[in-house]
Structures are given as structure tokens and as C-alpha cells.
Amino acid sequence: MTTGVLPRHRSLVWAGPAAGIALLLLAFGWHISVGAKTIPLPTVAEALVAYDSSVFDHVVIVDLRLPRAVFAVLVGAALSVAGALMQGVTRNPLAEPGLLGLLIGASFAVVIVVGVFDLASPALMPLVAALGALVAAVAVWGIATAAPGGATPLTLVLAGAAVTAFLGALVTVANLLDEQTFEELRVWLTGSLAGRRIEVMWWALPWLASGLAVALATARQVTALAMGEETAVGLGMNVGRLKALVLFAVIALTASAVAIAGPMGFVGLVVPHAVRLFVGQDYRLVVPWSAIAGAGYLLLVDIAARMALAPVEISTGLVTALLGAPIFVWLVRARL
Amino acid sequence: MSAGTLTRLDGPITFTLPVRALALLGVMTASVILLLVLSLMTGSYPLDVPGVLSTLFGAAPSETAETVVWQFRFPRTLAAFCAGALLALSGATLQNVTRNPLADPSLVGVSQGAGLAVVAAIVAFPELPQVLRPALAFAGALAVAALIQWIAMRRTSGATMRFILTGIGVAAFISAATSALLTYGQLDRAMSALGWLAGSVHAAGWSDVAVLALALAALVPALFAASRPMAAMRLGPEMAAGLGVRVVRARVALITLAVALAAAAVAMVGPLGFVGLVAPHMAHRLARSGVGLHLAHSAMTGAVLVGAADLAGRALFAPVQIPAGLVTAVIGVPVFVWLILRTQGRSQL
């Protein structure tokens, strides 16, 4: 266990984040500039810095495209950090909010509350999503630990697949029983950044911020825990409390992402693994870098989702699955 | 029973059939008939037992009864039975050959492969005749099965575990591709594909029943002919080789057969999840028997399962119809969880 940052990372500490944030801003600008009408980057910057409501392009940028880009940044960062924490704490390279059933749990709860009880209040969405994610997480974890082999990557993913299949079927049943209410939810259920109301984001933001804060605060202990439970205990850490904190962070991050964009699979799997290739196993670096890289990744994926078959738009969640599933298969081959 | 298992390989299977297993077959046949009658009675135009029987034997009480039974309920019920039997046989074969209690056509991506091929065909060529669907589904399913085998089998240790996880990954990829195709396709075509993807027999007509029956007639004899190598494979590749089975050849042939069985069902009624997983295990618990009889039990269990799922799906929330595939998923997942909890330690996934 190192107390400081390893020497080869020292240069990355300042130059790295600066470059990362610069690239993120570039992706952000590109995301806003592409669309039915391409708006040049200087105009994008102008609209953000000196907004002029009489210029049509500025209105398009600020009212239509900016929210979507912000959603992508928030959702990408939230899911990636959640995935990184899950991988560290469960010491399972395949842990991810989608594969372990958290996304479907959150979606199921939202579908039930919106569809059956007809409560579409944006303030309620993150709370409902958090409760659903929590129940699903507990169910998956319970099944996996009760299995004779314990909570191995295989049992966790199998339990996640079981919960996903079960709740997925129930969501479809709810869909069929009340088609009108679900017309709106159908696109959301594939993971989409389009057409979400901005109020949902404001209500999700506190959840996201608190999840991120807990993630950053516990990053040091997560590094120790990722080396094994004995190591963590030997270092004098309260493992139970740490796990509870991390669980809260994961649930809060997942819930805010689902409230904003619906279930977006494999983001939390792909980004932390890519980040670890560059910054190593220290979660003090993995967590912030996952946030930055996740935001950039989802911006780029969303650009692809809008451009690939233009003018038809593919749901962003489908593109993350198309990109993430092969990486999952590769991880299974390489790591297990 | 366990002592009799190996000797059964030497002699004709019929000589050592246990009474209980045969009795079970009879009970299941009776359940299928009972389900058929119930299914013909239930719906927005309810019929009583004499009404159903007289309609079946050519003396319908009314013209509506004649239409409802012969045009809609009868073919639909038969399609459910056939599809259930096909999927159960496919699952039983996969479980025996891969020695993996969790193998199921929908879990390892075979159903999704068939689904992608058929959806691509519906969206790209809506005029495509119904009859070509099984062939397409078979091609798609076989391609995906081969892909998963190829990815999972590159290294030997822990191959079973990698097989399942690879299947889950490939299935996620293919489902996303299918959904993307649906957003790209025009809405009305996409809708017809969407209904089919939930796994429903509600639109099944006599032509579907004919295709399903044809698949059963063609594939089941082949399967029973292969039941002896399958019994040997169940003991492990070394034991099978020792018993004179050409393991690689038998493995490829049996998996191809399993894929064909599942593809036929998926092509006509869509992916019905977890039937192939649940039916063989249920059959196994109801009566222990040799491979041949177990296959027959599985087929009957699958038929009962899907028939009952279809009946429940249209009776529970009438007039809304819940596709049978969703009902089987809701029933199947608890069984799946139970299998995870139970079989892990023994079979060392």
C-alpha cells in the first residue's frame, strides 16, 4: 500500500487532468456542434460565453443541444464511477451497474411508480430509482453469496442476469397493460439522452454530487479493499462501514443516471477498465479519471448515436451496449 | 436406478423402462389434453366442454364457435405445445452435451441469433414468405452458437463458465443490434417484429403449426437416434471416448441439432425464454430415467409449460394478452436462481 502517488504518476497529476479536461471540453463542443444543422465550434463557444437570444443558432445551442450534452456528461461520469467502485469493492472485473441488475432495478421502480401509481414528479424519480437499485443490488448480492461458490464474478453476473430477465419481463408486462403511459417510457427504457426534461436533472444533481463526493472520499480505502479484505482489515479499516458507504455512492450515482437517461448498459464496465490501463490500480486516480473519461466517452457515443444512421437516431443505450458487450466478452476471455 | 444407468447402454432402452417414468409420460399426455380443452374453452367467447368437443368433432353449436376454435384457439394451442416441446428438447440436449445445468437456448444467445436474423429479414424484406423464416432463424442461431463456442473454447480450463458468460455478452450485443434495427426500420414493420420478439403464439395459424410439426417430425427421430452418444457424453468426454463415442463429432452434431430445434421454435413464435432451461430440470425431478425417456419427459413438460403459460397470459389480464414468453420468463427465473444456488458446488462451473 503506497501512501503517496507513485513517481511515474507524478507528471500525470497535473499535466494529465489538464489534458483530460481539455479533451473533454473539445468533445463537449463537438457534441453541441453536430446535428441536423452543423454549427461551427466558434459559434458554440460564443453562444456559451456570450449568449444572444436574437441569434437563431444560439437559441438552438442553449435550449436544445446544451441540455443533452450536459446529460451525457453527468450520466457518463456517474455510471463510470459507480462501475469503478463496484469493481474495486467486489474485486470482480465484471462488476457494473447494468450487469449486476442495478439499472433494471431502478428502471423497474420508475416504471411502476410512473405507470401504475401515475406519479411522474421529477423530484421523486431519483429516490424511486435509488430504492429500486438498492433492492436489486441486495437481491443480486444475496443470491450470489448464497450460491455454494460464494460471490464470484460468475455467480454475480448470473444472479444479475436472472434479476434482469425477471424484472425485464415484468417491465414488458406493465408496458402491455398500459400502452399509453408507456409510450413516453419506451424510448427512455432503451437508454436515451433525448427529450428529457431539465427539472429531472436538477433533482438528480444532489444525488449525483453526494455519490461522487463519497466516491472521492473513500477512494483511498477502496484501493486497500481492492487488494483483499484481509489487507484492508490489517490496515485497521472498518470494512463494513466502508462497504456501506460505497454501496450508498453506487446507488446514488446509478439512480441519478437512470433518472436522467434510463438504463445505459456497459458504460460502467468499459470506462474504468480503460482508465486502469493508464493510471493503474490507485482508486484516488481511478475515480476522478473515470468521471472525466466516462463523461467524454458518453459524449462521443452520443455523437455516434446521432450521426451513424442520420437522420434516424439510435438510442444511446443501444450504442453503449454494442460497444460494451464485445469488451465484456474480451474481459471474460482475458481475465477469467 | 443408478446401477441400471450404464447397463441400459448395452441393451434396447425399452427393456429397462421404469414404471414410474412411464406413468409420468401418461400423466403428462393427459395434462396436455386437459390443457388443450381448457385452452379451447377460454377467451372472449367462452365455450363449455360439450361445446368444445362437438366443435372438434364437426358439429359446432354456432358458426362463431367453429371460427373461434378452428381458426384461432386450436392452431394457437398446438403451436404453443410444439414450440414448448422443441425448446425443451433443445435445452435438454444442450445440458447433456455441455454438461452444464444452466445451458438454455435463450441464455447462450441462440434464441437471440435467430431473433436477429428474423428481425433483419422482416425489416429489410417484409414480403419474405413465412416459410423461409425457420431457415433464416437456423442460420442466425447456428452462426451465433458457433461464435460463442469459438470464443469460449479457445482455452480449456473453466470452459463451461466462460461459455455462459460469453453467451450473456454475445446475447447483450445481439439484443442491442436487434433493437437498433427496430428503430431504423419503418414503424409498422418494426411493430410486427416487436410483437414477435416478446415470444407470443397469439397470431399462430395452421401454417405455423405445420412448420413446427414438420420440424418436430424431422428432428425428433434424429435426436432419439443420437440419445445413446448423448448418454455417454453426459458422463464426460473421457468416459464417452472410452465408451466408443467420437466425442468431437458427436458434440458438433448434437449442438447443431439443439440449435436447429430451438431455431424452429423461435422462428415461428419468437424467443420463449427459460423453457429450455426449466423443462428438462422439472422432468428430471419428476422421474429419474435414461436419456431417451428423459428427452420424452422434457418435451412433454415443455409443451405443458408453454401451453399453460399461453393460457395464463391471455386469461390473467384479459382482454390484454401477455405474451407466453413473458410468462415463461417470470416462471423460469426463480428456477434459474434455484439452479445457481444448488448446482454450483457440485458441477464446478
- Of the pLDDT bands very low, low, confident and very high (cuts 50, 70, 90), residue A208 is very high
H/E segment holding residue B174:
helix B159-184
pLDDT of residue B7: 52
Model pLDDT, residue B346: 44
Question: Quick one: average pLDDT of A5-22?
Answer: 68
For residue A224, the enclosing domain spans 7-335
pLDDT band at A138 (very low <50, low <70, confident <90, very high): very high
- Whether residue B17 lies inside any domain: the answer is yes
- Chain B partners within 8 Å of A94 (Cβ): 165
Q: Does A253 fall in a domain?
A: yes
Give dist(CA A261, CA A195) in Å, integer: 10
Burial (CB count <10 Å: 0-12, 13-18, 19+), residue A86: buried
Average pLDDT over residues B71-100: 88
Closest CA to B314 of B11, B117, B14, B38: B38
Task: Quote the CA–CA distance of B80 and B141 in Å, as a whole number.
Answer: 20
**Cα separation of A31 and A66, whole Å?**
9
Residue pairs between chains A and B whose CB atoms are closer than 8 Å: 127
- The CATH number covering residue B142 comes to 1.10.3470.10
Structure-derived torsion over alpha carbons of residues B179, B182, B183, B187, reported in degrees to the nearest 10: -150
Domain count, chain B: 1
pLDDT in tens, A300-314: 999 998 888 777 778
Lowest mean pLDDT among A136-145, B99-108, B145-154, B195-204: B195-204
Query: Please, which pLDDT band fits residue B9 given cuts at 50, 70 and 90?
Result: low
Q: What is the pLDDT of residue B195?
A: 67
Q: Tell which B residues from 132 to 171 touch A, by Cβ distance under 8 Å.
A: 151, 154-155, 158, 161-162, 164-166, 168-170
Which residue did the predictor score with more confidence, B332 or B133? B332
Which of the four pLDDT bands, split at 50, 70 and 90, describes residue B4? very low
Note whether residue A79 is domain-resident: yes
Residue A208 domain-assigned (yes or no): yes
Alpha-carbon gap: B150 to the closest alpha carbon of chain A (Å): 11
Q: In chain A, whose CA is at the least distance from the CA of B147?
A: A329
pLDDT, residue B348, reads: 42
Amino acid present at B219: L
The alpha carbon of residue A313 is apart from the nearest alpha carbon of chain B, in Å, by 8
**How many domains does one find in chain A?**
1
**What is the pLDDT, as a whole number, of residue B167?**
83
B275 assigned to some structural domain: yes
Q: Confidence band (pLDDT; 50, 70, 90) for A250?
A: very high
Helix (H, G, I), strand (E, B) or coil at A81: helix
B107 CB near a chain A CB, below 8 Å? yes
Most A CBs within 10 Å, among B147, B181, B326, B343, to test the A interface = B326
The owner of cell 477469467 is A336
pLDDT attached to residue B108: 67
Check CB contact of A143 with chain B, cutoff 8 Å: yes
> Nearest CA of chain A to the CA of B318: how many Å?
10
Residue A1 within any structural domain of the chain: no
**Can you give the CATH number for the domain in which A154 is found?**
1.10.3470.10
Chain A CB contacts of B168 under 8 Å are 157, 161, 328
Q: Quick check: A154 and B349 CB within 8 A?
A: yes
Residue B252 domain boundaries = 2-37+77-347
Mutate to test the interface with A, among B102, B274, B344, B349 (most CBs of A within 10 A): B344
Residues of chain B neighbouring A332 (CB-CB closer than 8 A): 162, 165-166, 169
Report whether A288 contacts A215 (CB < 8 A): no
Q: Is residue B54 part of a domain?
A: no
Q: Do A165 and B344 touch (CB under 8 A)?
A: no
pLDDT at residue A195, as a whole number: 67
Average pLDDT value for chain A: 85
Share of chain B above pLDDT 90, in %: 9
pLDDT at residue A181, as a whole number:
65
CB contacts of B170 in chain A (<8 Å) are 325, 329
Query: What per-residue confidence (pLDDT) applies to A229?
Result: 81
Burial class of residue A145 (count of CB atoms within 10 Å of its CB; 0-12, 13-18, 19+): middle
Is the per-residue pLDDT at A136 higher than 90?
yes
pLDDT digits (tens, 9 = 90+) for B247-268: 788 888 888 888 888 888 888 8
With respect to residue A272, please indicate whether it lies within any of the assigned structural domains.
yes
Answer whether residue B229 is part of any domain.
yes
Q: A73 pLDDT exceeds 80?
A: yes
ipTM: 0.83
SS3 A300: helix
pLDDT in tens, B185-215: 666 666 666 667 767 777 777 888 888 898 8
Q: Range with the lowest mean pLDDT among A290-294, B156-160, B290-294, B324-328?
A: B156-160
CB-CB under 8 Å, A168 with B337: no
Flag whether pLDDT at A125 surpasses 50: yes
Q: Which residue has the higher pLDDT, B199 or A20?
A: A20
- How far does the CA of residue B116 sit from the closest CA of chain A (Å)? 14
Q: Which chain B residues contact residue A314 at CB under 8 A?
A: 180, 183-184
Q: Nearest CA to CA, how far is A222 from chain B (Å)? A: 26
- Specify the 3-state DSSP secondary structure of A148: coil
Predicted structure pTM score: 0.84
Interface touch A162/B349, C-beta < 8 Å: no
| Residue in chain B lying closest to A317 (CA) | B176
Tell me how many helices (H) and strands (E) chain A has: 14, 0
**Residue B66 is assigned to a structural domain of this protein:** no
| Residue A2 resides in a domain | no
User: pLDDT by residue (tens digit) across B264-321?
Assistant: 888 888 888 889 888 998 888 887 777 888 888 899 999 999 999 999 888 887 777 7
- Comparing A106 with B243, the larger pLDDT belongs to A106
A59 at interface of B, judged by CB pairs closer than 8 A = no
Residue B123 lies in a domain: yes
Contact B176 A321 (CB under 8 A): yes
* Inside any domain, residue B69: no
| DSSP-derived secondary structure for B234-277 | TT-HHHHHHTT--HHHHHHHHHHHHHHHHHHHHHHH---TTHHH
C-alpha distances (whole Å) from B166 to each of A23, A38, A330, B117, B129 are 34, 40, 9, 20, 33
Residue B109 lies in a domain: yes
Please tell me which residue, B184 or B119, carries the higher pLDDT value: B119
Q: Which pLDDT score, from 0 to 100, does residue B3 have?
A: 37
**Interatomic CA distance for residues B209 and B79, integer angstroms:** 5
